[in-house]
Amino acid sequence: MKETASIEQLAALVDFSADAVVLVDADGVIRWANPATPDVLGYAAADLVGVRVRDLVEPEDQQAWSALVAELFDRPAAPVMGSFRCRHRDGSVRWTEGVARNLLQEPRVGAIVVYYRDVTARKQTEAALRATEDRYGHLFEAAADIIFEADAEGCFRFVNPETLRVFGYERDEVIGRRFTEFIRADYRPSILQHYDKQTREGVLNSYVEFPAITKDGREVWLGQNAWIVLDATGQYTGMQAVARDITERRGAEDALRAAEAKYRALVEQSLVGVYILQNERLVYVNPKGADILGYAQQELLDLPSAYSLLHDQDRAIVIDQLARLGTAGASSVQLTVRGTRKDSTVVQTEAFCTITEFGNQPAILATVIDISDRVKLEDQLRHSQKMEAVGRLAGGIAHDFNNLLTAIRGNAELMSNRVKHDPAMAAEVDEILHAADRAASLTRQLLLFSRKQVLQPVALDLNEIVGNVARMARRLIGADVQLRLELAPTVAQVLADPAQIEQVLLNLIVNARDAMPHGGRIQVSTENARLRIGAPDTTHSGLAPGPYVLLAVADNGVGMDQSTQARIFEPFFTTKETGRGTGLGLATAYAIVRQSGGAITVTSERGEGASFRVLLPALTGETP
Which of positions 558-577 make contact with ligand ADP (CB under 6 A)?
Answer: 558-560, 564, 568, 573-576
Q: Residue 497 Cβ, how far from ligand ADP at the closest point, in Å?
A: 19
558 binds, among Mg ion, ligand ADP, none (CB under 5 to 8 A by kind): ligand ADP
285 touches 268 (CB < 8 A): no
Give the helix/strand (H/E) hosting 291: helix 287-293
Q: What are the C-alpha distances in Å from 498 to residues 94, 333, 502, 506, 512? A: 132, 55, 6, 12, 21
The span of 235-243, 279-287, 424-432, 505-513 binding Mg ion (CB under 5 A) equals 505-513
**Which of 367/556 has CB closer to Mg ion?**
556
420 touches 426 (CB < 8 A): yes
Interhelix angle 372-418/585-595, rounded to 10 degrees, is 120
Q: Residue 505 Cβ, how far from ligand ADP at the closest point, in Å?
A: 13
Among residues 98, 585, 598, 609, which is the contact residue for Mg ion, using CB under 5 A?
585
Which DSSP letter does residue 604 get? E
Does residue 522 belong to the site contacting ligand ADP (CB under 6 A)? no
Q: Residue 395 Cβ, how far from ligand ADP at the closest point, in Å?
A: 17
DSSP β-ladder status, 520-531 and 481-486: parallel
The span of 132-140, 440-448, 534-542, 581-589 binding Mg ion (CB under 5 A) equals 581-589
Among residues 183, 610, 616, 618, which is the contact residue for ligand ADP, using CB under 6 A?
610
Does residue 238 belong to the site contacting Mg ion (CB under 5 A)? no
Residue 385's φ and ψ, nearest 5 degrees, are: -65, -40
User: Distance of alpha carbon 493 from its chain centroid, rounded?
Assistant: 50
221 touches 250 (CB < 8 A): yes
560 binds, among ligand ADP, Mg ion, none (CB under 5 to 8 A by kind): ligand ADP
Rounded to whole angstroms, the maximal C-alpha distance in the chain is 199
Among residues 391, 557, 598, 617, which is the contact residue for ligand ADP, using CB under 6 A?
557
Q: Which residue is nearest to ligand ADP (CB)?
A: 585
Give the helix/strand (H/E) hosting 383: helix 372-418
Does residue 477 belong to the site contacting ligand ADP (CB under 6 A)? no
Q: Residue 587 Cβ, how far from Mg ion at the closest point, in Å?
A: 9
Does residue 571 belong to the site contacting Mg ion (CB under 5 A)? no
198 touches 206 (CB < 8 A): yes
Q: Residue 476 Cβ, how far from Mg ion at the closest point, in Å?
A: 12
d(CA 582, CA 579): 7
The span of 213-221, 550-558, 585-593, 608-616 binding Mg ion (CB under 5 A) equals 585-593
Burial letters 279-289, b for 16+ CB under 10 A, else e:
eebbbbbbebb
**Which of 427/476 has CB closer to Mg ion?**
476
Among residues 102, 224, 511, 538, which is the contact residue for Mg ion, using CB under 5 A?
511
Interacting residues with Mg ion (CB under 5 A): 511, 585
Where along the sequence are the contacts to ligand ADP (CB under 6 A)?
A: 507, 511-512, 515, 555, 557-560, 564, 568, 573-576, 581-587, 610
